[in-house]
Amino acid sequence: MRLFGVKVEDWTWVTYPILVVVMIVVGLNFFLSGGVESLDRMLVKPTQTHQEELEAAQLEVKLNKLRAINTEDLLLKMKKLLVAVPPSKRVWLLLAELQLSASEAGMTIDSYKATVGDVKEASESAVPVAAEVAASDLLSLTVVYNESSYENVILLMESLQKLKPLIKVATVEYKENKATVTVESAWSAWQSVASQVGMDLPEYNQEVNQALTSTEELVEISSW
């Protein structure tokens, strides 16, 4: 068969390179025009995978730490820490502490004056508003002791500092055998803990052990 004076059978082989060229053009066109987005998606995979592998490694570390937690032991430690710094203002405990200290120091209490504020117990999940916390942050009590020598004051200071819940002596005015002592009792409301899966678990052992060691020798006033 002849077309424009050329034998068609002699040129059939040309279809092979033409088909290959068409295939290459169509393929490249897919990647470079319509398929750019999918190409981007494909190329981003190594980066994503590396990030995920890194995340997995961090999560694994966290998971191992969580598995290693001995909840019973931690709850026991928490109880001890709550005795040192309770979650609410315990004004009656503070009074008991002051009475005990006074009797240990051989002093008699003449008067009390307390600044207590809100004493209701915050729940574990409560998030106190910052202004609220600042306004009612302190549990402060001023005590006047009569007929006391300076040696009695020394004993009183010693006694106050070895009690749980923790007490801070804010001011002391000792004059003419009369001592006026202002103390602040430790307390800290429950704070909500934001626990996100991706967040690192804090290293708690060192801080907890330090707190327990510092308070283990202190005398606990039994709850009222």
Partner 1 sequence: MINLVSKDEKRNLELAKWRKVVTAWTTLVLGVYLIAIAAFFGWWWYWTAKQKASSKKVESLKQEIRMLSENEALARKIVLRARAVNEFLANRENASAESKLLLVSDKPVVEWNLKPGSQLVVVSASDSAALKEYENYITEHYSSVLVEQVNWDTLTGWTLSLMLSGRKEK
Give the footprint of partner 1 on this chain (CB under 8 A).
Answer: 10, 13-14, 16-17, 20, 23-24, 27, 42, 45-46, 48-49, 52-53, 55-56, 59-60, 62-63, 66-67, 69, 71, 74-75, 77-78, 81-82, 84-85, 124, 150-151, 153-154, 157-158, 160-161, 166, 168-176, 186, 188, 190-191, 193, 195, 197, 201-202, 204, 207-208, 210-212, 214-215
Going through 27-121 in order, the beta strands assigned E by DSSP cover 108-115
CB of 166 to partner 1, least distance (A): 5
Q: How far apart are CA 5 and CA 92, in angstroms?
A: 118
CB of 120 to partner 1, least distance (A): 19
Q: 114-137: b or e for each residue (b if 16 or more CB lie within 10 Å)?
A: eeeeeeeebeeeeebeeeeeeebe
For partner 1, the closer CB: 44 or 135: 44
For partner 1, the closer CB: 96 or 211: 211
For partner 1, the closer CB: 32 or 75: 75
For partner 1, the closer CB: 130 or 193: 193
Non-local (6+) Cβ contacts of 106 within 8 A are 152, 155
CB of 129 to partner 1, least distance (A): 17
Q: Return the residue matching tokens 């574990």.
A: 124
CB of 162 to partner 1, least distance (A): 9
Q: How many C-beta neighbours within 10 Å does residue 100 have?
A: 15
Residue type, 28: L
For partner 1, the closer CB: 144 or 208: 208
| DSSP secondary structure, 7-52, as one string | EGGGGGGGHHHHHHHHHHHHHHHIIIIITHHHHHHHHTHHHHHHHH
Q: How many C-beta neighbours within 10 Å does residue 97 have?
A: 23
CB of 66 to partner 1, least distance (A): 4
